[in-house]
Structure 1
């Protein structure tokens, strides 16, 4: 009973914190992190120990899965080179540079332990990258790169942590052993993710009940991650591959009702998990600080050195990775040369999250199983401090930096022009289908459908017009919502007076809700 109460309290606080963040115009992860930090020292507030298994198997998979579902596969493919440079190359470089820096500060600590710390803090977080990048309003390609990096870099980092921990325990580690480990983890995860994605797609095509489709979708990331973990492959890669595959095919797998319902379900799951996870990170402060045995001067010195190294290495990597690649004619002709402001914003968007803390908790205990003595509690604190510093320093200042450097969202007029052109083609195809299949349908029905198609095509072109006055489609939406409101009121009064049963009200409400949802989607 106590565990249930604690869970309800955490969820309630995360909801209130998210609501407060939206009202104040802040990013919710930052507000919830600060709330967790403060609550960790409130007397009598429940302690929340974040188990690594809970994060890596219970929390991370659905968050990665829903992020992958929402990622454009064509955009991901076009940005694959910078994504892999960040998710693999930068993570490996960061791990070794931080390892050598910490080893210089703590020469008595084995280099393998220092590299393990570097791998732990190297990967930016998927949740914070997605939440903050979209909130800031960055260009679409920048968001794709940041999301793609955060989807894949955990796999690289966790493999390096495992390899470094094995070296710390005395296992022989060389280039061949590392290559084998990477091939086994990443390759196995890719195969498992693809196989289960195909199986899930097969189920979705044959299930007609939207509730069952939601259940299959919710179970998919957990089944994938459990099988991947049992087979000792990368569960992160497996979940991401499954999400990308299914997200790309959802328009052809699900019915319209199922898509609307599944979208709402995953939005709720994502909202609750994001809130709880950052609140839990903040609540670790009391426990992490209480476990430190290293003196304060050394703790501050190592933490500052790791944070500075993280920032500098990411900046030092970004500019050559961005511009040297464009010396290759094929890349130069295919990709536009970005302004220096773009790699600067990407370099500053290096917020760490819950995976860093969970990975730190997996560090082996010193003196057990041949592991030499090293300051494990210091490394766990440094990992926690890096999360807090990157979120509060980089996450909080990223919007201002993007504004100062004028790195903005893509031109909405270009999107509207592309939409209008495609909508014109789609409308023409719809009218051809109407003429081909009209047959003996009543002329009034055919005329109504033709008017609907023409109205939708006109709405797309209206978005290119002036934003200073209300367009016909905007007026239609505003007035139709008022009409729907009046209809709802009439049905509600009739139900209250006993003139219609509850079932009639529910059916009418559903039809009106679907129409209003369609209005909102057409305006967004």
Structure 2
């Protein structure tokens, strides 16, 4: 696999990207911007290898795992409940933005063919709401707004990449007309969903019947690539196939064992972190090369990019506001069932339209040449404009989104109500578990010593009371809730036990196998104690 220059260079890129992203997390700086700047600076240092990204490897090897990770963490039920607004954004807005940006770019850049301009439109059309939803949760946006942004981010990539394929075929000379292209778009979309539906059940069935978490997670790593390749083999949308399969697996994840879920969550967080960090760093490393071969004056290219960035931001407002209110005006029944929100809701959804790593990855998949062997029209300019649109929206909108949300009259997430609902759900579950426990302990084959029976009951009682305690019972000295104090004390006493096990191992009073077994028990207890905090 030669998607970059060599093994050593790949290791250096991944290590450097992880280091810069780690610094961004520690300092609170926007990671994408810091990664691009670090890559840009490193590109001018002597001795730094010249990184090249093969366009043919980007779509099949970079996008599937990123989309799979996003879909696993999405809510199938939330998407279904908000299908209309999500569909209007993930399909309608992408089509609208692709057309507007394509037409503006074609009129703005002399000699840029409409087909190549529409390729650019499809590349920059889909917002990446990962950063937006993280900010939305932090500032307390309503749950429905967060769900809509998540759903849009998940499905709009499929629409954009399918459009990109159609426009690209026309740009490289493989298309047969826009009418045929529209038909190809529909066939690819329907086919991608169909392939996903065919694969999701047997893949989940296979995972459930594997008893070894390592094997299950090995399969999990292969699934997005399998789904993508299977769909592309029949000329369907590989992106949609990946999304459909991952949504099903995420929705049914409770059917696999806990060890698999714990490992899978950690593995996919790591994969997503490394891929996103590496792609942003690669953009910075390659930007000097792109700028050096633009074929346009520096200020001319910056002017084109600035105009298209402004057009991209305005286009989102031009779509979101009518899409929010017009259906309710046309369908009074919809207005009665789902009353119109205040202007603040479409305003913040519009401002949350930052572009991200998917746009950058797709831009670098644009081929170097057309089917006739000539250079792809203004490829370097398209890459530069994509870079400016991504970084520009991250800076202009991403950095100001918290201030915008705080400044407008928008309902906030009710943390106390959410905790109350969580406590009620946990209470019902604990009551059912306690009933089941008493039933099991009443059987002769389940006889246990009294201390162990009491421990089982105490665990259930602790789990039921923990969420209620978060609603009150604040420690006058520390300001902590009783639940927070319990977690802190649990960490301290577990750390004391862990120190003893390390001492015993170092003194060779226990062997390493026993040491690891004892340490695993402590890790699981600590994870249990911390789970409420993570939620």
**Fold in common (TM above 0.5):** yes
Q: Secondary structure at the match of 2:50?
A: coil
Match of 1:452 among 459, 463, 472: 459
- 1:492 is matched with 502
Q: 1:16 to 1:363 in 2, by over 3 A?
A: closer
* Shift, 1:459, TM fit: 1.3
Q: Secondary structure at the match of 1:124?
A: coil
- 2:259 is matched with 257
Residue 215 of structure 2 is aligned to residue 205 of structure 1: no
Q: 1:37 to 1:342 in 2, by over 3 A?
A: farther
Please report the TM-score for the alignment, with normalisation by the length of structure 2. Answer: 0.90
- Rounded Cα–Cα distance in structure 2 between residues aligned with 1:275 and 1:63: 12
* Shift, 1:330, TM fit: 4.0
Q: Secondary structure at the match of 1:43?
A: coil
* Shift, 1:285, TM fit: 0.7
Q: 1:218 to 1:170 in 2, by over 3 A?
A: closer
- Rounded Cα–Cα distance in structure 2 between residues aligned with 1:406 and 1:520: 35
Structure 1, unpaired ranges of 5+: none
Q: 1:16 to 1:320 in 2, by over 3 A?
A: same
- 2:378 is matched with 375
* Shift, 1:298, TM fit: 3.5
- 1:473 is matched with 483
Q: Secondary structure at the match of 2:6?
A: helix
Map 1:75-86 onto structure 2 (within 5 A): 75-86=78-89
Q: Secondary structure at the match of 1:144?
A: helix
* Shift, 1:430, TM fit: 1.2
Map 1:76-225 onto structure 2 (within 5 A): 76-106=79-109, 108-125=111-128, 138-168=141-171, 169=173, 171-175=175-179, 177-225=180-228
- Rounded Cα–Cα distance in structure 2 between residues aligned with 1:330 and 1:98: 34
- Rounded Cα–Cα distance in structure 2 between residues aligned with 1:318 and 1:501: 63
- Contact 2:175/2:181, CA 8 A, preserved across alignment: no
Map 1:311-460 onto structure 2 (within 5 A): 311-327=313-329, 328-335=331-338, 337-363=340-366, 369=372, 374-405=377-408, 410-439=413-442, 440=444, 441-442=447-448, 444=450, 445-460=452-467
Length, aligned pairs only: 522
* Shift, 1:127, TM fit: 5.5
- Rounded Cα–Cα distance in structure 2 between residues aligned with 1:224 and 1:368: 27
* Shift, 1:105, TM fit: 2.4
Match of 2:242 among 231, 239, 260: 239
- Contact 2:54/2:365, CA 8 A, preserved across alignment: no
Kindly report the root-mean-square deviation, in angstroms, between the aligned alpha carbons of the 2 structures: 2.6
- 1:74 is matched with 77
* Shift, 1:150, TM fit: 2.0
More deviation, 125-134/450-459: 125-134
- 1:24 is matched with 27
- Rounded Cα–Cα distance in structure 2 between residues aligned with 1:12 and 1:62: 19
- Contact 2:196/2:240, CA 8 A, preserved across alignment: yes
Q: 1:251 to 1:224 in 2, by over 3 A?
A: same
Q: 1:160 to 1:477 in 2, by over 3 A?
A: closer
* Shift, 1:145, TM fit: 2.0
- 1:309 is matched with 311
Q: Secondary structure at the match of 2:248?
A: helix
- Rounded Cα–Cα distance in structure 2 between residues aligned with 1:334 and 1:42: 60
Match of 2:291 among 275, 284, 289: 289
Q: 1:455 to 1:336 in 2, by over 3 A?
A: farther
* Shift, 1:464, TM fit: 1.8
- 2:6 is matched with 3
* Shift, 1:251, TM fit: 0.8
- 2:42 is matched with 39
Q: Secondary structure at the match of 1:6?
A: helix
Residue 527 of structure 2 is aligned to residue 517 of structure 1: yes
Q: 1:196 to 1:139 in 2, by over 3 A?
A: same
Q: 1:40 to 1:57 in 2, by over 3 A?
A: same
- Rounded Cα–Cα distance in structure 2 between residues aligned with 1:371 and 1:10: 31
Q: Secondary structure at the match of 1:339?
A: coil
Q: 1:403 to 1:54 in 2, by over 3 A?
A: farther
1:307-329 deviation per Cα after TM superposition (whole angstroms, max 9, x unaligned) = 11101110111111122233334
* Shift, 1:297, TM fit: 4.7
1:255-283 deviation per Cα after TM superposition (whole angstroms, max 9, x unaligned) = 11221122222222222222212211222
Q: Secondary structure at the match of 2:95?
A: helix
Q: Secondary structure at the match of 1:324?
A: helix
Residue 472 of structure 2 is aligned to residue 462 of structure 1: no
* Shift, 1:126, TM fit: 6.0
- Contact 2:217/2:264, CA 8 A, preserved across alignment: yes
Q: Secondary structure at the match of 1:284?
A: helix
1:56-100 deviation per Cα after TM superposition (whole angstroms, max 9, x unaligned) = 111211111011001111111112211211111111111221222
* Shift, 1:149, TM fit: 1.6
Q: 1:309 to 1:107 in 2, by over 3 A?
A: same
Q: 1:143 to 1:43 in 2, by over 3 A?
A: farther
* Shift, 1:364, TM fit: 5.9
- Rounded Cα–Cα distance in structure 1 between residues aligned with 2:8 and 2:169: 40
Structure 2, unpaired ranges of 5+: none
- Rounded Cα–Cα distance in structure 1 between residues aligned with 2:226 and 2:127: 25
- 2:268 is matched with 266
1:325-345 deviation per Cα after TM superposition (whole angstroms, max 9, x unaligned) = 333344334445433223222
* Shift, 1:107, TM fit: 5.5
